[in-house]
Structure formats: C-alpha cells, structure tokens
A and B are shown apart, each in its own frame.
Chain A
Amino acid sequence: MSRPPPPPAPTHLLRSHSASVSTLWISQDNERIYSGDASGNVVVSSTRSLRTISAWNAHTDSILGVEEFGSSVITHGRDNKLHVWNRIKELPASTRLGGSAAVPDLPTPELVCSMDVNALNYCRFSLLPLSSGEDSDPAALIALPNLVDSSTADVWFLPPKDRIHAAIGQETNKPVFATQPDSGRGSHGIIMSLHLYTSTSDESGPSRSSAMPATALRLLCAYEDGSVILRRYVRSDRPTSVEGQGWEVLWTSKSHVETIMAMSVSRSNTFSLTVSADNLIVRYDLISETEPKAAVHRAKHPGNSSIAIRDDGRVCAVGGWDGSVRLYSTKSLKPLGTLRYHKSNCQALAFAHDKPTKEDLGGGADEKIEHEEDSDSDDDTTASDRAAISRWLLAGGKDNRVSVWKLMSFESSSTTMT
C-alpha cells in the first residue's frame, strides 16, 4: 500500500442477519445480493437500495450455498436439503412505495421442489446451467457430494431431479458395508469443494442441445487432504453413469498440507485457486488437462476460509480466519491490499459481476420494465452507479454482517485501494 492510514473501510454494511453469514452470492445483473447465514436464513438484498427484498428461513441449519437459477433460487443447507424456490420479483421502482428499512412483511418465496442431499462435508453444490435458449425453462446440472459417501460426488439434472452420474470419484467397488469401513472411501478424504463445468476445448458443448453433455463435462474436486482432482467424463455413448464409472482422472495435484477450505474457479474456467488452513494459495491451470500445473504461492497469513475470483480473472480475494480480506492479483499472487473490517472469520466472499450480460437469466419481465424506465430517467447516474456496483466486493463474516467494499478497478495502478 503506497498510502499509509487511513485504511480502507467498507462502504456499506448489511445488517440483515442475526447469525454468522455463511454464504454470499450476487446475481448476474448485479441487482441482488443473496446471503445465507448459519441459522438457515436467506436474505435477498437489492444492490440499489441495500435493502432486503426478501428474507426467509430456507433451512433449519447453516446455509452452504445460494444461487439463482433462472427464475428460481437454489438454496443448499446443512440440514441435508437442497431447495428450489420461486424467486421474488422485485417491483419496479415506480410502483414501490417509499422504501423502508423495516418493511414488516417481506414476501417469502414459494418452495418449488426439494432434494435430499448430503451436507455432511460442508460442501456447496456446483451449478452448471445448460442454457437451452430462451424458449424453454432453464435446465442445469448440479454437482453435489454423494448421498452416502462424502468423498464422492453426484451430478443431478435439474429440474427433473435425475441423478445422472453417481459416486464420481469412487475408487473401488467395494460395498459400503465392508470389513474396513474406510476402504470404500477415497484416499483423499471427503470432498471440500467441487466445481462442475464444461471444457471449452471440447467441441460437443452441452449448450446447444438439450442432450446430455457428454465428454465435455469436467468435475474439479478439492479434498480434505489438500489435493485437487480434475476429472472428465469419457463415455460419450452413455449419458449416465454409476459408481464413478466413465469418469477419468485428468490430473491430481496435492499442494496444500491442510484441508482445502475453499476453492474458486474463474468465470472462464481457465484456472482455479484454492486456500486452506495453511498459508498457501494454489493456482491450478485448468486448460492443461494432461498434467497438473499448480503454482503454489506462500501467503503471509495462514488460515483462510474463503476465496473469490473476479469476473475478469485478474483479482482474487481471500477471506481469512482473522476476518481480513486480502486481495491478490491472480497472475502473480502479488498482494494488492487488505480489507479489514470483520472481527472474526470472513466466511464468504463474492465479487460483483463485471457487466450485466444480455442473456442474463436473472432479469425477469418486470425488471426489464424497470430497467427501461430507469434508463429513461437517469441513464447517466445509473450507468455510473452500475459501474460502481460492478466493482463491489462483498464479504460476509461471523459477526453477522455483510460488508460492501467499493474497490478500485485495478486497471491503471494496482497498489492502492479506493
């Protein structure tokens, strides 16, 4: 930091939670912040008004993940449930009455469907939307830890809730009730984080047809023992699999000495970063599918619990157990700055998205109207506002608060914070 004190401070704080914030997500169009807390409450806040749009008790236990999925919201809780809710449409600003910090009865979204999942290992789901054009309902693949064996992963197809791939990563075919209970388990321990994506190098991408993605599917798993494994599905003839058959390990990399606490994959799926209880930040090249290319960076601070990569893939934020958020350049892992607000463990991080894309799944008809209206009335300010919002970093801490940081763009100089 070229400038000594005063240190940066969060621009805003969201105090809508009464338990520690466990997960954060921001909608593609940067309009809504989703935050889940340890008591199972999910709060949707508007980025414009910083006020709650909707808040409900989605789960009876800590929320592992929230994500928008078309016009619905998927929540994943430690109560071994995965719920899909109808998203609450925010009324256009013109019809809204005066905003208030204390709206007595916020709408609660309606539960569409639920799945029983295994949430033993605190591992968040990974959603891979299959954009099947504008006509049909959105479909997606969702990766989750296996229902029985936490060291393996399942891939489900939504909305029908079909399990397509089961127990990916199962090493042996031993029955669960074997003489050695652990022998069926993977040697890497339970999955800590997973990410499902389709390889861009593969031509048969899943996006153009509603057919099952076959060989383009990749699954990146981070494990308890600190290793990261990239797998791909090889059986192009069979869209489904059981017991991990057909999934081939592309590479395995074990750089962490401790359990991986968080993994983040860049938006373009070109690299991923992991943090763990140790002081290492490891960068994995996902383009290389033949051998692991892991770059280990020794950070100064051990004990990191969350990581997020910005859309442009240049900057990442690492949340530590000390509550600080540290920003690094993803290329060199050079530290860019420290954001200190939370007193204890910063458990969730989310970057706002670069620029709202056109085919955002998020924007419903109502919102489009709202946008048009707004762009009529205050184009300039909103444009600048949005530019500002797109530089937001959200951090959720154990202190029940979500802090909003306005970062500089890091375009020109990358040493100071705004």
Chain B
Amino acid sequence: MAAASFTAAKFLAPVAARSGGEKAPPLPAGASSSSFARAMRRGGAHHPRLRTALAVSSDVLAGNKAQAAAANPAVTREEALELYEDMVLGRVFEDMCAQMYYRGKMFGFVHLYNGQEAVSTGFIKYLNQADCVVSTYRDHVHALSKGVPARSVMAELFGKATGCCRGQGGSMHMFSAPHNLLGGFAFIGEGIPVATGAAFAAKYRHEVLKQSGPDGLDVTVAFFGDGTCNNGQFFECLNMAQLWKLPIIFVVENNLWAIGMSHLRATSDPEIFKKGPAFGMPGVHVDGMDVLKVREVAKEAIDRARRGEGPTLVECETYRFRGHSLADPDELRKPGKDYFPVSFYFFASLVKFLVLTRLSGEMENGIKASLAKFAVVWYSVVPIELVNETLLSDFSFLSSLHSSYLICQHSDRYDEKSHYAARDPITALKKYIIEENLGTESELKSIEKKIEDVVEEAVEFADASPHPPRSQLLENVFADPKGFGIGPDGKYRCEDPKFTQGTAQV
C-alpha cells in the first residue's frame, strides 16, 4: 500500500493484511523503481537488513512462530494480579493528580498517562532493580512502576521537601538513584541519548571493569513518543546503539498525537517500527492497549539485550485518554473524522455487488483473483468492527446497501477516543483475569480499594509535608560541596592521595 493513502485505519486492519514473520518486508512504494531496490529483492533473503524481522501486532518475533499459535501468552496468577495492581495504581494516581491540579496543590506542567498504563507496566514490571528506565515529561507512572513510592512522587509533585527529588525536579524531572530511574526530561528526544549512555555504562562495566550481574547485562529501557521519532537524536542513537550493540530497548509510546499535531501529519512514513531495521535492529509493533502482548514483546526484547544481542525498537500503539497536559484544551482530537465521504461507501458496495453477481460462474479464476485484491483494499478501509457485517453484502443488493449504510454511520461517528476507551487496558486485563480464572471479582475489587487507600495516603502525606527550607535553594548545584574542588575535609580534592594510584608512564 502506498504511503500516501495511509490512515489510522491501517492500525485497525486485520493482521493478515500486513506482512510479518519470515517473509521479507515489502519495500516502500518509492523505492520500487530503483535498481538498488530490485537487487535487494533478488538477493533479499541474504541481505542482513532484510533478515531482520518485522513483527506485527502480537505476533512474536520471527523464529518463535510456534508461540504465535497461542491465543494469549501464558501468565501466572501472581503475575496477572501484579500487573493489574500496577496499572490500577497508575490510573488512580493520575486521576488524583488531575484533581489536585484543579485544586491548586500542583502547578506548572503536568502530563498524565491515562490509557497508556499497559506499556509502562508491561515493560517495567519485567525489569530488575539494577535495570534503568529513562522517560520523558510524562513520567509519573514510569516512576511508580519502577518502584518509587507513591507518596514520594506525590510529594514531589506538590513541591515538598519529602519528594523524591526534594521538590527540586517537579513533575517533569523525576529522578531516583536507588530505583535507577534516570529522569524525567522535558525536551523530547533528550532522554534517548542519556538512556543509550546508561546502556553503554552497563556494557562498559561488564567488559572493561569486569563487573557483571548474575543475569547478564543490566538493561536500559527508554520511553518516548511518536513525535520524538522525527527528532535527530533518535536516529543518532539508533545508529550508535546498534553499532556498539548496547543493551537498550527503545520503546515508542505511539499515541498518535504530539500535543495537537497528528502523527500522520508530521511523519513521512508513520510506521515507526520500520525505522529499526533501517539501522540493523529488529523493529516490533505491538498493541499497546494489551498488557499481556506488551509483556510478551518486552520479555523477548529484554532477554535479547541481557544476552548482549543488542537493541530493539518497539512501537506500542497506545492512546492517551486525557489531553497532552492538564493545560491542554484538547480540541483537535474531536470525534467524527470522516476518512472517506459517505457516498464512497455506497457506490463501492454497489459496484462490488454488481461485479460479484454478474461474474459468478463466468471466467472464475482470473477474475476471482482480482476480486480478492479488491476485497483486501475494501477491508483495509472498513473499520474492523464492521468486517463481519460487510461479508454478507457479497450476494445481496439489499445487504450491500445495509452494510454501506452502517459504514457511513460509523464513519460519521468514527470516534478515536471512544474507540480506544473501549480498549482500556485495565478493563481488558480484568476481563482476562476473570475469564481465565486467575482471580475473582472480589479480589480485584480489593486490589482497587487498596490502591485507592495508597493514593489517598500519598496525598495526605504530601499535604502534611513541609516546603523545602530556604537554605535548599543553593544546595546541590555541584556534587562537590564547595564548588572549588574542595572536599568535605576542607582540603583540595585533587590532593587526595587516593587518586594517585596508577602506573602511568609519561
């Protein structure tokens, strides 16, 4: 499919319509005319770039085809409840932030994570203490998933001295050294090189300093959004991470919007996961509203990195239920986007009916092949929920009309927000847990109650905490307490005899 006709509906297309698995990925339309592209296709199977898999929507990475047969990845009861609790914590906490903001307890820029919990929980709950997480300004839930106590995060948001950064960072700059949460960066793309550096340090510690953990390399996960994927630093780091085979996972939280700029308006090729193989690393697309699928992909990517096989680019299709920040009026994500005019569907289904009924039984094979192609195009523009309805329209004019009416109705009211609200990760996991008998309704309710208590307590704690003392203003500018190279004992730091070990030959 040519990039020019790409729409968000493509994300909703059935999995079968897209490439995946061992097959070489389709080259973009623009490349098809060059001889280089033809050479690639001929010798494609042996070219290292094309060997790298592109996986799609919960298909696991190529090579593990057998696992793709499972309808859902296996998860134990404890894991499922842990994931549920973590996502509920993220959701309740962010809702409380909104309340507190409108009451004036929180101020400045606050960016909430509602709707994206599956990505944070899916990845971070699989990490160890020693693994690092680097995030953007939308970092509250990453901090919570990594283990920073809710009361520390809430106090930091209130600007109190008991916050995780003693009130000096704020909403956008969450740091926690014990939890290896390395920020919290306001500039988009800024966290990616820092994360790459943390991964570099993990590899350096292993190879040069000969200090390694029992599991393998310490892994770094960098979270960033779709807008960041057009930024230069992103590409610079994809290059260097793969060049030096660093243990990092680049997680794109593609929520389709960068403040008010739609991803499709800002990006020449909106399929971000394809940018991984361009640099020689696997690029994976996963449904970011399903925590179990995210976790499955996370396991694969994290284990790869630990073994030293290098980076992975994971694109999570997700959505933020609230605006970009609490100050964002969120006017551009209005419901009711028409992708095609109403008349298109009517005439298309009429043509389809006419062609099918006139040609049935005549010149079947060749024409049925062309009809199959037509059907692929047709189904790619029809929202997935209506595919079943339109199947019946093949042989009856009336049902053709009916299905086109349904589609028109639906396209009139195609509402991105309610579409994704129906795919709320927390409701989905709840449903899964109950259906698979991993937990009862009352257990889940008690988890929710517990989390509400935790968040209430966090607010009370933050409220009761003191503001930072005035003396804190000038502290911590330098790690070096006096800023003159003078150590805590009052002598010049550089005269410390500890630094003079070594056998340098000048």
> Do the two chains belong together in a single complex?
no
A-contacting residues of B (Cβ < 8 Å)? none
B-contacting residues of A (Cβ < 8 Å)? none
